[in-house]
Each structure stands twice: as C-alpha cells, then as structure tokens.
Structure 1
Amino acid sequence: MADAVSIIPAAVLRSITDKLYEKRKVAALEVEVIVKNLCGAGEHDRVTSVIDLLTTDFAESLQSNHRKGGLIGLAAVTVGLAGEAHRHLDKIVPPVILSFHDQDSNVRYYACEALYNIAKVVRGEFIEFFNQIFDALCKLSADSDASVQSAAHLLDRLVKDIVTESDQFSIEEFIPLLRGRMNVLNPHVRQFLVGWITVLDSVPEIDMLGFLPDFLDGLFNMLSDSSFEIRQQADSALDEFLEEIKNSPNVDYGRMADILVARATYNDDFTRMKAIIWIHEFVKLGGDQLVPHYDSILGALLPCISDKDANIKKHARQTNEVLRCICATSAGIFDVGSVLKVAKRSLSSEWEETRIETLHWMRTLFSKCYNEVIVFMSDIFESLLAVLSDSSHQVVLLVLDVLACIARDTPYFHDLIVYLIHNFQLNYSLLEKRGALIIRRLCVLMNSENIYREFALILEGESDYNFASTMVQALNLILLTSSELADMRTLLRQSLHNSSGKEGKDLFHSLYSSWCHSPMATISLCLLTQAYRHASSVIQSLGEDDINVKFLVQLDKLVLLLETPIFAYLRLQLLEPVQYPWLLKSLYGLLMLLPQQSSAFKILRTRLKALPSYTLTDKVKQPFSRTSPYPQILQLNEGIDIENVHNGINFAYKLQHFEQVRRQHRNWIQANTQLQPRMPPSSNALQEEEQR
C-alpha cells in the first residue's frame, strides 16, 4: 500500500474523500488515468496495490466520506482497466457488494452507482458474482431511502440486460435463490422478483417453465397482494406460463397440482379463481400424471362449486364435469378409496350444490368401477344413509340412486331397509315429509316387490306396535296411490283370480302378516286383491279398541280412494251384486263404521245409493252349483260355512292371524298407555286429526 500511496498523489487521495461530489469526481478521473497507464505498462501488481489501498483505507473505513471515496475509486479503477478489468474483479466487486449493507444511505447509493459503472465495463464477466448481486438488489429494492431504491432500479435493469445476453448465466443456481424469496411480503421485493421471473422467461435459452413448480406458489401468493400493480404483474406472469404449458410437451403437472389444490381453497377470490382456471387446463392436459392427484383435485373443486363468487362457481363446475367425464371414460386406474374418502367428507358439506355434485361422483364411480367401489362400502354406507334426512329433495333423490346401486345385488339391501325403518321410527317427521318420496324412488330404481317384501318382513316382527301401524299405513297408502306401483297393484288385483298367479299370491302372503298391524291397511289390501269375503270378515272381527280416531282417519282416506280411478274396477263390480255380494257387504260394513256426520259417510252412502235395488237379503233367483266359479255366493246366500279357502289361500288362518295381531296391539296399548273412557269421535275430532 505504500507503493500505492506513491502512485496516487496525496492531493488526489484527499480530494476523493471530499464532501463535494465534484471534487470526488475529478479525483476519480485522476485515478482512472493512473490505472490506465499502469495497465498499459503491464504493471498489474501496482494496480492491485491501488485496489487494496482503496479497499482497506477507504471503502472499509469508519468514515462515511472515505467509504464513498473508496467506492468511486474502485469504479474508476475498473474503467481505467477496461478490457483487463476481469483480472481484478475478485478484489473490486466484493467490497462494493459489502457496501450495499452500509448503514449510511448515501454509501448504499454510491455502491449502486459504483457497481453500475463496473458492470458497464465488464458486462458478462461479473456473472460469477450474480447471486451476491441479486441478493443485494433484492434487499435494496425495499430500501427505506427513495434515492437508493431509484439507483438500485437502474442497476437492476443493467444487470437484467447483461444476464439475458450472457451465456454464462446458470438458471439452476439462480432458482434456489429465487425460491427462497418468493414468500416475502414486502411489495417492493415482490415487484422485483416478478420482474426477474418475467425477464428470464422471455429468454428462449432459459427454461423457466421447467422450474415453474419451484416458484409457482409464490406467484399465486402475490395475487392477493394489496397492490393492484403487483397483482396485475403476477397475473400476467401466470397467464404467460399457462400459455407455455398448453404448448409444451414436457410439463411436471404432478408437482404443481398440489400447489393449485391448496390455492383453490385460499380465502382470496382472485387467487381461487386463478387456481381453478389452472386446474381446468391441467385436468384436460395432465393425462396420467394427474391420476394420483384426482382425490385432492376433487377435494378442491367440490367446495368451489358452491362458492359465493359466480365465476368461481361456473369454472369449478365446468372443471368438475371434465374431471368426472375423464374418470368415467378413462382406462387409467386411480385410487378409488381416496376419491371416496373425499366424497364422504363432502357429503356433510353445508352447501347443497356440493352435496349434489358429490353424489353425482359416487354414481359415476359405481358405473365405472363397481367392484372396486363396493369394497369400501363399510366406510361410507352409514354416511350415505344419513343423507336421506337431507333438507334438499334433489339430494335425497340422488342418494337414493346411489343406495340403489349399492343395494341392488348385495347384502346392503337388507341394511338399507332396516336403516329406513329405524330412522322413520326415530323421526316421524322424516316419514311424514320424505317417506313417500324415498319409498317411491326406491321402487323405481329397484324391484318394487322386493322393496315391499323386505319392509313387510321386518315390520312383521316390530315390537313398537304404534310405529308398526303407522309405517304399514304409510306403505299401504303409497301402494294404493303411486303411479310407480301400478304394475304391483295389477299383480295383486289379479293374484287371487288367476290359478297361475303364483307370484301375486306370494306377494299377498308376504304383505298380509305385517299389514295386520293396521286394520284399515288389511281391509285395503283385501279390496285391492278382490278378497271381498275376507274383507267383510275382517270388518266383522273388529273390536271396540280397533275403531279409534286413527282408524277412522284411515277409513276416511280409503273412502276417498275408492272414488279414484285406481278402484274403478271395484265400483263397476258393484253393478253385479250377485257376482260380488261380499264386496257390497264389505262396503256397507265400512259405512256402518263411519260416523254419520262425517264427509266420508256421505260419499260412500251416495255411492251405494246409486246402485240397482239389490239387497243382501234377497235370494238369488238363479241358483249356483258348487262348481260355480264364485262359490262364495253359495256361502253367502245359503249360509253354508265351508272351509274358507280360495285359490290356495287359507283365509280362515289369515283371519286368525289378524285377530291375534289385534290382540297383541290391544295388550301393547294397555301396557304403554293409561286407557281413558272412550267417547265416540266427533266430526270435528276427525277433521282435526286429518289436518294433523
């Protein structure tokens, strides 16, 4: 350094630390000329001495003016060296970079100025210091001093120009540096980073797309920045990358899928929207790479289908449909268990649209891979059953579709019916509001006869007689009124009058035992199957305890049903009292049970008054033999008490069973309620009960 002092005049060294910028500038020019002469003479050792002097005594000095002078001097040395500057960069650049962290903002400013001048001279030669320079510029972009920020921006633009034209820049070394700063919240730093990403992506020789997973999350994070400019820049950068993805054959969809899924659940609308758009493109382009991510993608899409933002909802729905279509038609194997786990979780969503789409997914999975799905039924069956209590009719219909797929050919059929009965028993309002919807839909989706047989089999042994009666009444009303059960009604109506109708008779047997829980249901079944004599016997066997308000309400409904097209055949049979005498007696029996003041009494009496003037006591003018197809007429008119068997059905035994069930009901009522003196129900009481 003593040599350096002899090289640079003392006056120049004093001027380079002067407070006045002009004097420092003149001194720097003197240093530049001196170094230029030394370089021309090949005296690089003496140049090194000058650099050491400027670094040790000035750039690293405790006095800020000396530090400023040292920085100006180092820049002047570089300019003086010109084409030979690269030989001394390892000594010139480090002290300048160190000065970026100086506490004095003026020193930081001159550091920017010095490095700018150095970079202009050496251009691509200083790429070896790029990481340190990038780190320093990143911090200076958020400097508290506006003049330092301005100087840093100028230097940043120059560095970008140098990097884009250099073939020595290493993107592999730069990416870790970028990745480590992408989650910084400072808006100035974010703007700085987005600027670098955009610039580097514009260079054809630099494959930024290949490293997109390393900084994609950071870009999405910037979409929620408070600065509109930063949001706009991040959005523009993402759009550019998405276009590149569409045109690139080699994209790592898998690594980015998890990032997009996380951002699709972000609380910022703009971020969620962008993530859904990206997922939509990934689903279309990702192919087999996305198969392991179907469950997480679905988990992100289903909540967005119910998003409060209309655009997010629209794009999420479109993406969901594309993904479901791919799963339904693709030959690829995905993790069914994971997808079902997501679906199970979404079934409890508070949003109806999400629950609906979840059930569409389950139905698709059953169609696509039934055997794989059925393996997981023990995990999700209970959750599906719980949805039957959903507030949405559409959700209930869809879950019935899914349950029908499950229960059609498996032991889950019995479990489904047991669950329905159990929940109807626990929640009478569910039976009242949804019972008909659920049962009718199941009868459409599955075999209606099997549905009714299973209900009947389970209800036959029901110990809660009050519920059993209510449930049977509901099933009976659905049987008599639903268009979906027209074929079943036809089968029952023909069963006792067709010697080959084994299926209909079996169905009658299956229903009868449980139908005995409700006298009116039993009578209705007999009228439907044209077992009129047995209907009359059942009516005659009713005791005082059987004829209560509930019974009369049900009787009122039956009378109204007799006026509907369903029982048109029965009304026409009234025109043939000789052929159907027990029908007439059954209807008169019902009339006798109705209070005269009720509307049902007036309706039924009016109907019976419209008949020809036959009476039950008239003798049949034309006798019938025992070979008559209507032997019951002989029994009625001649009082013959032969064995009550018709077409293989022992109605005498049926009547005994009915009476036994009624006794059990009476005993159960006595055991569970305190009987009060019974008064004949008034018409007002019936009306109140009907309304209830």
Structure 2
Amino acid sequence: MADALSVIPASVLRNLSDKLYEKRKNAALEVEGIVKQLALSGDHEKISAVIKLLAKEFTYSPQANHRKGGLIGLAAATVGLTSEAAQHLEQIVPPVLNSLSDQDSRVRYYACEALYNIAKVVRGDLIIFFNQIFDALCKLSADSDANVQSAAHLLDRLVKDIVTESDQFSIEEFIPLLRERMNVLNPYVRQFLVGWITVLDSVPDIDMLGFLPDFLDGLFNMLSDSSPEIRQQADSALSEFLQEIKNSPSVDYGRMAEILVQRAASPDEFTRLTAITWINEFVKLGGDQLVPYYADILGAILPCISDKEEKIRVVARETNEELRSIKSDPAETFDVGAILYIARRQLDSEWEATRIEALHWISTLLDRHRAEVLCFLNDIFDTLLKALSDSSDEVVLLVLDIHACIARDPQHFRQLIVFLVHNFRVDHSLLERRGALIIRRLCVLLDAERVYRGLSTILEGEADLDFACIMVQALNLILLTSSELSVLRELLKQSLVNAAGKDLFVSLYASWCHSPMAILSLCLLAQAYQHASAVIQSLVEEDINVKFLVQLDKLIRLLETPIFAYLRLQEGIYGC
C-alpha cells in the first residue's frame, strides 16, 4: 500500500473519489499515465500495489463515489498497462465483476463501462473470466435501470466478439451455465440467452449442435412467450438447428426425442406444431437410434392426429405413416408391449381419428409381431371388448377385425365368444345397438358356422334365461335376414338330407330352445315341418304375454319375407 501511495499523489486519490465525474475522469487519466511509466520501467511490484489500493480502498469502499473512482481507476490502469495487462487481470477483474451487482445503479453502470474498457485492451485474455462475466451480464440484461441495461448491451456485444475470435473458449464449461438459465421467464434474459446461442452456433469451431439436448427444452419454452420478438428469435434458432441436424451425420436423437414428445402436448399451438415437425424429421432421419423411443413418439403423434389445427394434423398423419412403415425387430429394443400400451391408452381418446389410428397400430403389430402381441393379450383384451361399444361404426369394425385376427387360434376364439356374450349380458343396449353389426362382421371374418356354433354352445348353458332368450332371438333374426349368413341358411335347409346340415341344426337346437319363436323358425328353415308342428302344439302351454305376442308377430312377418318363399311355395303345392 505504501508503494502505491509513493507513486500516486494524494490529490489524485482525492479527485478519484470526488462526486464530480470530470474530476474522477482526470484523476483516472493521471493513474493511466503513472501505470504506463511503471510498466515501461518494468516495476510490476508497484503496479500490483496500485491495483491493490484501487480495489481495496476504492471499489470495496462503502462510499459510492469511491467505488465509482475505483472502477474508472482500474480501467485506466489496464489501459496504461496495454499489452502487459494480462498478468495483472487476476487482480483487476474480480473487483469489477463484484461491482456489476452493486446496489447502486450508477456503480453498476460504471462497472459495465470499466469492464468494457478492460476487455478492449486484453481481448482474448479475458476468457478465463467468461463464466462470471456471462452470469453477471445475464442478470444485467434485466436490470431495472435503463442506462445499466444499455451499458450491459454494449459490453455484451464486445464479449461476443471476443469469444467468437478466441480459441480458448470452453463450450463444455459454458453449457451448464446456459442450461441453468434456460427456463427463466424474464423476456430480457430470454433475448440475452437466445442471442448467445445464435452467436455461438455461428462459430465454426464451436459445436453447439452436440450440446443441443441441454438447452433444446428451454428454446421450445420460449416459443410460447408473450413477446412476438422472443417467439420469432427462438423459432429462428430452432429452424437453424433443425437444418444443421439434417446435414449432420451424428446427432443424439434420443435425448431430444424425449423433449419433443413432451412439447408435442403443449397447450400452445405454435409449440405443438414445431415439436411435431421436429418429430417428423427425426422419424425420417433417426433410424435405429429412435427405436427405443417409438412408443413415446407414438404417444405424442396419436393425439396430434386429431388436433384442432389442420397443419398439426397433416404433419402428425404423415409422421404416423412414416413411423408405421419402419420395420423393426423386437429383439432389437423394439418394445411391442410399450407400443401396445400407448395404442390401448389412446382408445379412450375423445377423438375418433385418434382411436382409429390406435387400432391400426394394434392391427399392424398383430400382423408383424403376432406372437409378441398375444403375450400381452390380457393387457389389451378388455379394452378391445369395451371398444365394441364405441360410438363410431368405423372404430367398431376395426376392433372386430382385430378380434378376428386374434381369434384365429382356437383358445382365443373361445375367449372372444365368451367375453362377447358376457358383454351382451351386462349391456343389453350393446346387443340392441351393435349386436347385428358385430355378429355379421365376425361371421364374415371368422366363418359364420364357427361363430354360430361357438355362440350356441355358450348360450346352451346360460343361467340367465331372460338374457338367453333375448340373445337367441337376436341371433336368429340375423341368421334369417343377413346376406352374410346365406350359406348357413342353405346348409340348414338341407338338414334332412345332408349330414353337415343336420349336425349344424342339432348344434343350434339346444340353445335356440331358449326362445319358442326362434326354435320354431329354425325348424321351418330346416324344413323339419313335423317337428315344427310339435313345437307349435307345445306353445299352447306357454304363458301368452306381451313379449310372446311380439315375437309371434315378428315370426309371422318373417314368414312373409323372401327368406321363406320356398315355404309358401311348398304350402301352395301341398295345398293344391
């Protein structure tokens, strides 16, 4: 300290802490000249003493004017040192950095100005303090004082220039600092951060793309900012990165895919569109890297297929088709169970288009990985059965296709028929609304005789006699009227002369007995008239109620339809 006092006159030190800026400035110019002379004589010991005096007695002083003088003095000393300033930066810079967070806005302003002047002199040598400077600038970008903000912006531009021309900058050390701040909501800080990301990405020797997963989520977060300018800047940065990804041979798709999946569910429309666009490109580019993330990606795509925004729907559909076209082996981390879980979950979606695509995925997996899908059958079977009650006919038909595919195996066929009867039993409205559609479609897909024999076997031992009667009546009406069952009707007509027809008649008979009108019409269809006559005589003992009369009326109406034309012809012939 004594060394410093011996080279700096007391009047200079007095003026350095004066309340008038001009006096402080003139004192700083004198400090500059003194340090320059000391540097020329190589007396670095005295230079250190001067810097120590300026820091301890001035920049750390409780008096604001002293702190201002200390800052301008340190900057002046650096200018005086010129090319030799680097060896004293460890003394010069920390007091200035400390002043950047001073409670007095004027001190903060002078700290920005001082660091700016220091940086101009030392340029790349300042890089060792980069993280502290960045941290301070980040806070100053949102400073409450407009003058401080303005000074910080000037300093920021200079530091960016220094970093872009330096070969000492460490991106590895910087990224954790950036990542920490990416979810700050302050608009000034957001602009500051995007500005740095954009600048660093423009430097050929800095691999920002390799660290993109560390700050990608933060950029997406900015797409929904209330400021159009910030949204535009974030979008521009993201567009540039996406272009780089397309041109890059090696990118960590996996980590970024996790972020994109989350953002595809954003309540903000622009964020959803951007996320789904990125996912679309990733599916095209990512290949095997994305296999472990297929389920998550599908979970993001399926809801977007029904998005209220057409652009999102279009991209989601394209991505869905692209993903489905990729052939993957379950042995290579392709998780069939995870995909099935996602598809099953989306069957509860309120949107028809999403439910339909979820079913297409289940169907695709059954086609390509049947054994693996059947291993998870217990997890999806109940959901698939519930889907038979869906409000959409297209959904129901797709569900039936899947059920039919599963039911190719005898044990699964039996399980389907048992569950189907159970569902009809607990939900009579399902039988009324969809019974005909379901039964007819299954008859087309699984062979009508097989379906009817299976249903008959179960209904034969049905304990709920009222349900059994209703179910048999429904099956009987379908049998008599549906074009899909014409072959079955022809077989039954030959039951008196054909062993196969007789066997089918006997197979249905026991369960058809639950309904007098059903068994009577079955006998008439099979041309077992003598037995039909016996059935009619037995009806005398039946309780004649409204239900009975309604069924009788339906039978009479059926006898007048083309199905029973042969019966009327025979009656005419025998009547003659």
**TM-score, L = length of structure 1:** 0.80
Change (3 A) 1:332 1:285: farther
Within-5 A mapping of 1:239-278: 239-278=239-278
1:526 pairs with 2:545: no
Secondary structure at the counterpart of residue 207 of structure 1: coil
| Pairwise CA distance, 1:329 | 9.4
State the superposition RMSD in angstroms.
1.9
Within-5 A mapping of 1:413-424: 413-424=413-424
1:54-79: CA deviations, max 9, x gaps?
11111111111111111101111111
In the alignment, the residues of structure 2 paired with residue 170 and residue 328 of structure 1 have an alpha-carbon distance, to the nearest angstrom, of 40
- After the TM superposition, which of the residue ranges 358-367 and 15-24 deviates more from structure 2? 15-24
Within-5 A mapping of 1:523-602: 523-545=520-542, 547-577=544-574
In the alignment, the residues of structure 1 paired with residue 549 and residue 60 of structure 2 have an alpha-carbon distance, to the nearest angstrom, of 107
* Structure 2 letter corresponding to 1:490: E
Within-5 A mapping of 1:37-436: 37-327=37-327, 334-436=334-436
- After the TM superposition, which of the residue ranges 14-23 and 233-242 deviates more from structure 2? 14-23
Change (3 A) 1:209 1:410: farther
1:448 pairs with 2:420: no
In the alignment, the residues of structure 2 paired with residue 422 and residue 551 of structure 1 have an alpha-carbon distance, to the nearest angstrom, of 25
Gaps of 5+ in 2: none
Do the aligned residues in 2 keep the contact of 1:328 with 1:365 (CA within 8 Å)? no
In the alignment, the residues of structure 2 paired with residue 563 and residue 322 of structure 1 have an alpha-carbon distance, to the nearest angstrom, of 54
Say how many residue pairs are matched: 576
- After the TM superposition, which of the residue ranges 401-410 and 68-77 deviates more from structure 2? 401-410
In the alignment, the residues of structure 2 paired with residue 503 and residue 88 of structure 1 have an alpha-carbon distance, to the nearest angstrom, of 106
Change (3 A) 1:410 1:257: farther
Change (3 A) 1:368 1:199: same
1:307-330: CA deviations, max 9, x gaps?
333333332232222212225799
In the alignment, the residues of structure 2 paired with residue 485 and residue 434 of structure 1 have an alpha-carbon distance, to the nearest angstrom, of 17
Structure number with the higher helix fraction is 2
Secondary structure at the counterpart of residue 182 of structure 2: coil
- After the TM superposition, which of the residue ranges 522-531 and 123-132 deviates more from structure 2? 522-531
| Pairwise CA distance, 1:116 | 0.4
Secondary structure at the counterpart of residue 206 of structure 1: coil
Do the aligned residues in 2 keep the contact of 1:328 with 1:364 (CA within 8 Å)? no
In the alignment, the residues of structure 2 paired with residue 410 and residue 505 of structure 1 have an alpha-carbon distance, to the nearest angstrom, of 23
Secondary structure at the counterpart of residue 338 of structure 2: helix
In the alignment, the residues of structure 1 paired with residue 121 and residue 25 of structure 2 have an alpha-carbon distance, to the nearest angstrom, of 18
Q: Paired residue for 2:512?
A: 515
| Pairwise CA distance, 1:45 | 1.7
In the alignment, the residues of structure 2 paired with residue 35 and residue 4 of structure 1 have an alpha-carbon distance, to the nearest angstrom, of 10
* Structure 2 letter corresponding to 1:347: L
Gaps of 5+ in 1: 578-583, 585-613, 615-692
In the alignment, the residues of structure 2 paired with residue 110 and residue 406 of structure 1 have an alpha-carbon distance, to the nearest angstrom, of 77
- Which aligned segments of 4 or more residues in structure 1 are displaced greater than 6 angstroms? 328-331
1:555-576: CA deviations, max 9, x gaps?
3333333343333333443443
In the alignment, the residues of structure 2 paired with residue 357 and residue 377 of structure 1 have an alpha-carbon distance, to the nearest angstrom, of 19
Change (3 A) 1:542 1:526: same
In the alignment, the residues of structure 2 paired with residue 478 and residue 327 of structure 1 have an alpha-carbon distance, to the nearest angstrom, of 41
* Structure 1 letter corresponding to 2:174: F
Do the aligned residues in 1 keep the contact of 2:179 with 2:215 (CA within 8 Å)? yes
* Structure 1 letter corresponding to 2:359: L
| Pairwise CA distance, 1:435 | 0.7
- After the TM superposition, which of the residue ranges 25-34 and 65-74 deviates more from structure 2? 25-34
Q: Paired residue for 2:496?
A: 496
Secondary structure at the counterpart of residue 542 of structure 2: helix
Do the aligned residues in 2 keep the contact of 1:39 with 1:47 (CA within 8 Å)? yes
Do the aligned residues in 1 keep the contact of 2:324 with 2:361 (CA within 8 Å)? yes
Do the aligned residues in 1 keep the contact of 2:220 with 2:271 (CA within 8 Å)? yes
In the alignment, the residues of structure 1 paired with residue 508 and residue 125 of structure 2 have an alpha-carbon distance, to the nearest angstrom, of 95
Secondary structure at the counterpart of residue 543 of structure 1: helix
Do the aligned residues in 2 keep the contact of 1:473 with 1:521 (CA within 8 Å)? yes
| Pairwise CA distance, 1:535 | 2.2
Identity of aligned residues (%): 72
| Pairwise CA distance, 1:505 | 2.0
| Pairwise CA distance, 1:331 | 9.2
In the alignment, the residues of structure 1 paired with residue 333 and residue 310 of structure 2 have an alpha-carbon distance, to the nearest angstrom, of 33
Do the aligned residues in 2 keep the contact of 1:328 with 1:368 (CA within 8 Å)? no
Q: Whose Rg is larger?
A: 1
In the alignment, the residues of structure 1 paired with residue 462 and residue 302 of structure 2 have an alpha-carbon distance, to the nearest angstrom, of 41
Change (3 A) 1:304 1:250: same
| Pairwise CA distance, 1:27 | 1.9
Change (3 A) 1:43 1:333: closer
| Pairwise CA distance, 1:461 | 1.3
| Pairwise CA distance, 1:298 | 1.6
Do the aligned residues in 1 keep the contact of 2:71 with 2:110 (CA within 8 Å)? yes
* Structure 1 letter corresponding to 2:307: D
| Pairwise CA distance, 1:544 | 4.1
Secondary structure at the counterpart of residue 144 of structure 1: coil
| Pairwise CA distance, 1:114 | 0.4
**TM-score, L = length of structure 2:** 0.96
In the alignment, the residues of structure 2 paired with residue 302 and residue 449 of structure 1 have an alpha-carbon distance, to the nearest angstrom, of 38
Secondary structure at the counterpart of residue 69 of structure 1: helix
| Pairwise CA distance, 1:86 | 0.9
| Pairwise CA distance, 1:80 | 1.0
1:255-296: CA deviations, max 9, x gaps?
111111111222222222221111111111111111111111
1:609-641: CA deviations, max 9, x gaps?
xxxxx2xxxxxxxxxxxxxxxxxxxxxxxxxxx
